Structures are given as structure tokens and as C-alpha cells.
Structure 1
Amino acid sequence: MSESSDRPSPGRRLAAMTVLGAIGLLVGLIVGIVTLGLIGAPLSLSVDAPSGQLLFTLGTYLGMGGVACLYLLRHEISLSYVGLRRPTLHDIGAITATTVVLIALAVAIPNLISWLGLPFTEHSVTESIEMNPSIALVFLPLSILVVGPAEEFLYRGIIQTRLGDVFDAGTAIALASLIFAVVHFFAYLDPANVPGTLVTIFLLLLPLGAILGVVYEYTGNLVVPALAHGIYNAITYATVYAEVVGLF
């Protein structure tokens, strides 16, 4: 239960969480750009190089995590509210199973989309790795240590939990997953293939987010979706890297 005493209407809570999800991403991007400019520019680091990507990504997701922390402070909510605790053996099993399911869906859904003859787009990081494979070496650890935890902290730990205070669990999961999917629009945006971007968001990102939401609800431990998300991303980027450099 929330430690805040206010009980807004479901509509107001949904609007507030939608705005929070958008602000988290926007502030993260701004912090990433500023970090790259303040540190990277004097060192002549390009965002297309691994070092530049490291700075930009660290800034982006630390900024996103900062928004989440400020929200908790503003509403006088402790970290226990988001279910952050040391994983048990059961949680480790859930992390493993969730990662396997995410990877299986990440393979099956694009094949289904292709079979249906629908357009599709790739994440901007995947495209960056295809152009410069060494960038993958930056994103493997960052995905597990920074990206997965930051996104799950905001979108599952805060947004889904806050929605769960005024909606039933299934509705909270669905709405948080929708917010999570929609805010990734620009990460998958191909200006020449906007329909493909929308297909990717709603047929791939939405179900993947829902799975993370279900696992979070089931385990009550934020570490589970955070690590599953991060490991899934790392495996995805490692696979792209292996294909680009011809390992298989």
C-alpha cells in the first residue's frame, strides 16, 4: 500500500503515472545529452563511438533513476514500497525463467509479424551495433547494471505499484505495460517506417512489458524484473554482435 495519504481517482492516478513515465524518459535524455556534452565534448568523444555511448547511456538512465528517486522523496515513500530486496533462490529461478520467456518471445513475435506481412523496426541500439559492433561491449554490462534496473524501478516499481493502489492488479499491469511500450516510440522510430514502429511497440514491446509486470506482481521483488530485463537486453545485443562479426 502507498505511504501517501491521498487517494486520487483512478483517472487522475493514470494521468499522473503517464506523465511521470514521459518525464522520466525526457529528463533521462536531457541528462544524457548534457553528460555527453560536458564530458564527451572536451574529450572529442562521439556519440557513435563506444566511449560516447557509455557516457550518454549512463547519463540517460541515471537521470531516469533520479526522476524515480525524486518522486519517492516528493511523496515521502520508502524504497520498501517498490519491493526492493535481496533475491532468494526462488527469485533467481524466476529471473532465469523470465529471461528465457522474454528471449523466446523476442524470436517468435518478429517471425509472426513477418508471417503476417506487417512492417517491423529495430531498436536504435541494435542499429548502432550493426554499424559499430564494439558498441555492444558497452551495452552488455550497462544493460544489466544500469538500463534494466533504471527502467524497472520507474515503470514497474513506481508506476505499476502506484496504479495498483487504485486499480486491480491485472489492470495496473496492463496500463503500466502500455505506458512502458509507448515511451519507447522514439527508440524504435524509423521515420520512413512509422507503421513498423507502431507494430513493434504494440506487438513486441507491450507483451514483453506485460511479462515483466506479471513477474513483478508475482514475486513482489523489483530485483527480479530488473535483472531479467537487463539480462534479456544483454543477450539480445550479444546476439546482434555475434551475427555482425560473423561468429555464427
Structure 2
Amino acid sequence: MDSARIVTKRRLLVIGAMLGLTAASLVVGVAVVLLLSATVVLGVGLELSNTGALILSLIGIQGIAFPTVGYVYLRYHGRAVLEFVPTRVPSLRDVGVIVGGWIGALGALLVVANLVLAVSDTAPAQNQAAQTVAENPEFVPFLLPFVFLLNGPGEEFLYRGVIQGRFREDFSAPAAIVLATLMFAPIHIFSFVEASPQAALLTISLLTVPSLVFGAVYEYTDNFVVPALVHGLYNATLFGGIYLSNVVG
């Protein structure tokens, strides 16, 4: 077997392994959320509202499942977590990248979304989190800490730190960023269960835009904290916009 075929086979195995890791994180996430929900409803005797379900989802999936699956994968393969996923206090340069990435992700999404809407008859789907926030805008200030502490760090640890980092060992930086994005964006399909397939697919396609930015800032800074904060700021801005449109508008 020549070297090119060996490299191709190795890369395909890595892609398969990362697909498996993505699937495992979702399975574990669903299991944890179901366990937490059962504990609240059956154990404590509380009725689970939409806002409560959203918080349990953030805790169970982004707060527990994603970091745990990523950590177990790294330790199983004998990797030192903090070496494989570099984590440090952001430098002044990192802070600049965080601000630039935050504005860039929002700006790029706005441009691409407008271009897509100009040529498409399908409107993007609204995910369940956004719908819950729109129906309960007073919940946003309480939600924001979870966005910064669980949502951004949890997703970025798994998809940028572990998955993109693993791809980076066998692929170029642009390829690793794109491949990690292709793993990341489709997992949001479960947030659009009430939308049409066309609307859900359109929205998932749009989610690749900020995901590429998250991957790029991680590659540039080699600091997990940077994409975690960019992601948190990005989501917080979206939720904040919904809050302002419902409360002020």
C-alpha cells in the first residue's frame, strides 16, 4: 500500500472516529437530560416548564455530556487534556481576537443570511431555545450566565478543542476547521423538530457561518478560552436581541 493510500485510510478513520464521538456526545446528552428531568419531576415533584427544560438541556448536554465525552476520549487515548486543549488567561491580543471574532461572526451571519433570503423562498427555522426566550423574555438575564459558563465552553471544548484538534493532526488547518464545523452544525437539528425539513436545513447551513469563525479564532490563538468566549458573546447577543425586541420593542 503506497503512502497516499495509507494517509487517506488514516484520515477516513479519523473522520469516522469523530463522527462516533459526536454521536456518543448526543446519546450521553439525551440520557443525562432525561435523568435530570426525571429527578426534577418524579424525585422533587416539580412541573418542568419550557424555561426549566432549557436550563436542564444546557446543564445536561453542554455542561455535562460534551465535556465528559471529550475528556473521556482524550484520557482513553492517553492525552493530557490541558496540553491537547490549550487553555490560558487571554492576552491582550486574544481579547482583540475575541472582540473581532464576536463582531465578525454576527456580521458574517447577517450578510450570508440576507444573501440566502434574497434567493430563497424558505424562511429560517427558529430553534426551541430562541422560541422559549421569545415567549419568556424576562428569563434572558437569568439565562446569560448559563450561556457563558456552559453553552460556549461545553460546545467549544468538544468541537474545537477535541474534534478540531484531532482533525488538525491529520489535516490542514482549513480542512480541520471545516470538518469540525460539519460535525458541529448538524447537531442542532434536534432544536428544529417543529420546523419543515427545508427550513431546518437552511438554518443549519447558516450555523456553519459562526462555527467557521469559532474554528478560525481557535486555530489562530491556540487558546480554548477564546472561541468559548466568542461563542458565548455570540449567543448572548442573539438572546439579548430577542429580549430587547420583546421588552423594548
Whether TM exceeds 0.5 here: the answer is: yes
Superposition map of 1:195-210 within 5 A:
195-202=198-205, 204-210=206-212
Pick closer, same or farther for the CA change 1:176–1:97 going to 2, 3 Å.
same
Cα distance in structure 1, aligned partners of 2:192 and 2:208: 13
Once the two structures are superposed, residues 125-159 of structure 1 have per-residue CA deviations (whole angstroms, 9 ceiling, x without a partner) of 10111222233233211111111000000000000
CA–CA distance in 2 between the matches of 1:129 and 1:72? Answer: 35
Q: Does structure 2 retain, via aligned residues, the 8 Å contact 1:121–1:189?
A: no
State the match for 2:74 in structure 1: 72
5+ long unaligned stretches in structure 2: 1-6
Q: Which residue number corresponds to residue 4 of structure 1?
A: none
Q: Alpha carbons of 1:109 and 1:40: their partners in 2 closer, same or farther (altered >3 Å)? A: farther
Instruction: Give the share of equivalent positions with the same residue, in percent.
Output: 32
Q: Distance in 2 between matches of 1:174 and 1:124?
A: 26
Equivalent of residue 139 in structure 1, options 122, 140, 143:
143
TM-score, with length taken from structure 2: 0.89
Tell me if 1:54 matches 2:55.
Answer: yes
Structure 1, unpaired ranges of 5+: 1-6
CA contact (8 A) 2:40 2:48 kept: no
The CA distance in 1 between the partners of 2:139 and 2:113, in whole Å, is: 23
Deviates more, 1:137-146 or 1:154-163: 137-146
SS of residue matched to 1:9: helix
* Bigger helix share: 2
Name the TM-score, length of structure 1 as normaliser.
0.89
The alignment covers a number of residue pairs equal to 238
Other structure's SS at 2:223 match: coil
Change (3 A) 1:108 1:43: farther
Q: Give the aligned CA root-mean-square deviation in angstroms.
A: 1.8
Contact 2:214 2:227 in 1 (8 A): yes
Q: 1:2-24 deviations in whole A, cap 9, x for unaligned? A: xxxxx970000001001111221
Give the match's secondary structure for 1:221.
Answer: coil
Task: Single out whichever of 74-83 and 221-230 deviates more from structure 2.
Answer: 74-83
TM alignment of 1:27-38, pairs within 5 A: 27-38=28-39
